[in-house]
Chain A
Amino acid sequence: MPDLQALYQEEIMDHFRRPRNRGALPSANRWAEGHNPLCGDAVTLALHVEDDVIRAIRFEGCGCAVSQAASSMLTEAVEGCTVAQAHALSEAFDAMLKPGAEPDATALQLGRLAVFSGVAAFPSRVKCARLPWHTLAAALAGSDRTVTTEA
């Protein structure tokens, strides 16, 4: 039986209640908007990328605890990363949420983001956690199109 406490980890709830890096980024040169049409979750990311490094990132959005906490924690995780490092994190995050994934396999690389491993036991909520990561990929690809989790 999936455990509610495993989904709503203390750290996740903390980021939901007190989001970090929330707001506008006047110096942004990359943007993307993501939404999950089934839930109404919406996330907008604004990045300042220079010399292939994410110098600053902010998010805005509304939605469930999982999508908003994932957005907040994403901003902390990728600020200061190179674009390649951000892509690698994104891949590790996706791998962690695949059915039957071994959380230990990606834990070291993901660091604090490993608190989202409990989401894998709630298939209907996986897309909530992935939404900001899909949005990040779109922003880094330079496409300012809207991405959705219902590809």
Chain B
Amino acid sequence: MAGETAAGRTGDVGSPASDDAAESALSLAAIRAQFPLLSRTIHGRPLVYLDNAATTQKPAAVLHAVDAYYRESNANVHRGLHFLSEAASAAYEGAREEVCRFLNARSAAEIVFTRGTTEAVNLVAQSWGRRHLGPGDAVLLSTFEHHSNLVPWQMICEECGAALRVIPLTGEGELDLEAVPRLLDGSVRLVAVAHVSNALGALLPVREVVALAHERNIPVLVDGAQAVPHLQVDVQDLGCDFYAFSGHTVDGPTGIGVLYGRGERLEAMPPWQGGGEMIRSVRFEGSTYAAPPHRFEAGTPNIGGAVGLAAALRFLGGLPHAAMARHEQGLLNQAARRLAAIPGVSLIGGTAPRIGALSFVLDGVHPHDLGTFLDQEGVAIRAGHHCAQPLLHSLGLTATARASVAVYNTAAEITALTEGVERARRFFAG
């Protein structure tokens, strides 16, 4: 059960009364009004969007920022000497400053724009990995990893003759922190771990993993795609070497994401893609490369996406964080309580705090059938393996149903979910 709260979050939010209090403290109606898509109907029913871990809906502030950029400031960056090019460059580099503040990085030079979390991990695997991995070396992952923080490591390990190692689950389904010191032997070159599990919503003990790895001078990459939407992430406080997240799970556009890398790490890394923007000078005999972050941004970047991401981070930063966290936790607690009361429902996950998402299975009803049933009632959830097949395999499952919340969800929507699950149970039981 999600009894504990994450760092920076306080208070018991389990009771319906406090859910209501959090909703009014947030002016939930006003927040919802800023997300145009939330007002549409699906199959003639009001949309209940509980697939936020897959992607969130976008507030008008983001839509306007992207629209205004293309209408008023569109040009290529860092090239033209003309007015618009300077405006576009200022917007793009301003977005980088915004991300830097949001993550509390030391400098905007530590912020590399990517297509998303996946590309950020691939960047480190290709650039850092190719230089540092060889036969006999290993990369240590957790069992919880999304395929995007697993397959890039598998690929580079195969190429370099290195091995993948995995932090196992405890019998209770937690990350086995006690196994980590033993696994961090002389062969491990890097640790890559999720901050929050996308499949289960479990908050992982990233700070402890970083401390253990750093005692041995091993760098750590954190996949923050499911943490940034819900927690106040401070990369200096966390101490990790790399931190990756996507724009589209934090109310921003698709196709834009971020790799934070500690300055000295990025400085020591070679480019991973060649092209314009990332060079200092080019001769047929050879080229020299720009300093970070531009060294890692070959080609015309997603300028509109970066502008949209900055607007999303400003939007999120403008919400009262403690009230938002309390509200989201209240929704998850409500969902966990009501689902657990339905015969045949099992909640998936150990005792780690749940952040943003809750996974469950219903006896005798495949998650895809449940997903189709709920969709007919306008309720959008995710059903499947959540791109975390090794995790589900370790738990003896092939698929789960996952409900994931954002600040704009309501207690009434959680009720629509849980009542829908109960109706599905009766429908499929015949």
Write the chain A residue with the least CB distance to B368. A64
Q: Which of B372, B399, B427, B428 contacts A122 (CB 8 A)?
A: B372
Are B372 and A40 in contact, CB atoms less than 8 angstroms apart?
Answer: no
- CA–CA, A17 to B369, complex, Å? 14
A105 beta carbon closer than 8 Å to chain B? no
A-B CB pair tally, cutoff 8 Å: 43
Q: Mark A1-21, 1 if CB is under 8 A from B, else 0.
A: 110100110000100010000
Are A1 and B44 in contact, CB atoms less than 8 angstroms apart?
Answer: yes
Are A40 and B369 in contact, CB atoms less than 8 angstroms apart?
Answer: no
Q: Which residues of A contact B385 (CB under 8 A)?
A: 38, 40
Are A63 and B44 in contact, CB atoms less than 8 angstroms apart?
Answer: no
Give the most central of B43, B369, B376, B398: most A CB within 10 Å: B369
Q: Mark A58-87, 1 if CB is under 8 A from B, else 0.
A: 000011111000000000000000000000
Are A4 and B428 in contact, CB atoms less than 8 angstroms apart?
Answer: no
Are B430 and A13 in contact, CB atoms less than 8 angstroms apart?
Answer: yes
Are B399 and A40 in contact, CB atoms less than 8 angstroms apart?
Answer: yes
Are B369 and A66 in contact, CB atoms less than 8 angstroms apart?
Answer: yes
Are A7 and B372 in contact, CB atoms less than 8 angstroms apart?
Answer: yes
Q: Given A38-B384, A40-B385: A62 and B398 within 8 A (CB)? A: yes
A48 beta carbon closer than 8 Å to chain B? no
- CA–CA, A41 to B399, complex, Å? 9
Q: Which residues of B contact A125 (CB under 8 A)?
A: 368, 372
B373 beta carbon closer than 8 Å to chain A? yes
Are B44 and A40 in contact, CB atoms less than 8 angstroms apart?
Answer: no
B366 beta carbon closer than 8 Å to chain A? yes
| Secondary structure dominating the interface of A | mixed
Are B369 and A64 in contact, CB atoms less than 8 angstroms apart?
Answer: yes
Write the chain A residue with the least CB distance to B371. A124
How many chain A residues have a CB neighbour from B under 8 Å?
Answer: 21
A128 beta carbon closer than 8 Å to chain B? yes
Are B43 and A40 in contact, CB atoms less than 8 angstroms apart?
Answer: no
Q: Which residues of A contact B369 (CB under 8 A)?
A: 8, 64-66
Q: Given A40-B384, A40-B399, A64-B366: A17 and B373 within 8 A (CB)? A: no
- CA–CA, A43 to B130, complex, Å? 40
Q: Which residues of B contact A8 (CB under 8 A)?
A: 369, 427-428
A39 beta carbon closer than 8 Å to chain B? yes
Q: Mark A107-132, 1 if CB is under 8 A from B, else 0.
A: 00000000000000010110010000
Write the chain B residue with the least CB distance to A14. B430
- CA–CA, A55 to B428, complex, Å? 33
Are A39 and B384 in contact, CB atoms less than 8 angstroms apart?
Answer: yes
Write the chain B residue with the least CB distance to A65. B369
Q: Which residues of B contact A4 (CB under 8 A)?
A: 372-373, 376, 427
- CA–CA, A122 to B427, complex, Å? 18
Q: Which residues of A contact B376 (CB under 8 A)?
A: 2, 4
- CA–CA, A125 to B316, complex, Å? 36
- CA–CA, A125 to B430, complex, Å? 21
Are B399 and A39 in contact, CB atoms less than 8 angstroms apart?
Answer: yes
- CA–CA, A17 to B366, complex, Å? 12
- CA–CA, A125 to B365, complex, Å? 15
Are A39 and B368 in contact, CB atoms less than 8 angstroms apart?
Answer: yes
Are B428 and A65 in contact, CB atoms less than 8 angstroms apart?
Answer: yes
- CA–CA, A2 to B376, complex, Å? 8
Write the chain A residue with the least CB distance to B385. A40
- CA–CA, A125 to B372, complex, Å? 9
- CA–CA, A41 to B114, complex, Å? 34
- CA–CA, A1 to B375, complex, Å? 11
Q: Which residues of A contact B427 (CB under 8 A)?
A: 4, 8
- CA–CA, A124 to B371, complex, Å? 11
Are A63 and B430 in contact, CB atoms less than 8 angstroms apart?
Answer: no
Q: Which residues of A contact B365 (CB under 8 A)?
A: 65
CB of A120, distance to nearest CB on chain B (Å): 14
Q: Which residues of B contact A62 (CB under 8 A)?
A: 398
- CA–CA, A38 to B389, complex, Å? 10
Write the chain A residue with the least CB distance to B45. A1
CB of A51, distance to nearest CB on chain B (Å): 38
CB of A150, distance to nearest CB on chain B (Å): 13
Q: Which residues of B contact A2 (CB under 8 A)?
A: 43, 376
24 A-B contacts, Cβ less than 8 Å apart? Answer: A1-B44, A4-B372, A4-B373, A4-B376, A4-B427, A7-B372, A8-B369, A8-B428, A13-B430, A38-B384, A38-B385, A39-B368, A40-B385, A63-B366, A63-B368, A64-B366, A64-B368, A64-B369, A65-B366, A65-B428, A122-B372, A124-B372, A125-B368, A128-B368
Binding site for A on B (CB under 8 A): 43-44, 365-366, 368-369, 372-373, 376, 384-385, 398-399, 427-428, 430
Q: List the 7 closest A-B pairs by CB distance, nearest first.
A: A40-B398, A64-B366, A64-B368, A40-B399, A1-B43, A4-B376, A64-B369
Given contacts A2-B376, A13-B428, A62-B398, 4 further A-B contacts (CB under 8 A): A39-B366, A39-B384, A65-B365, A65-B428
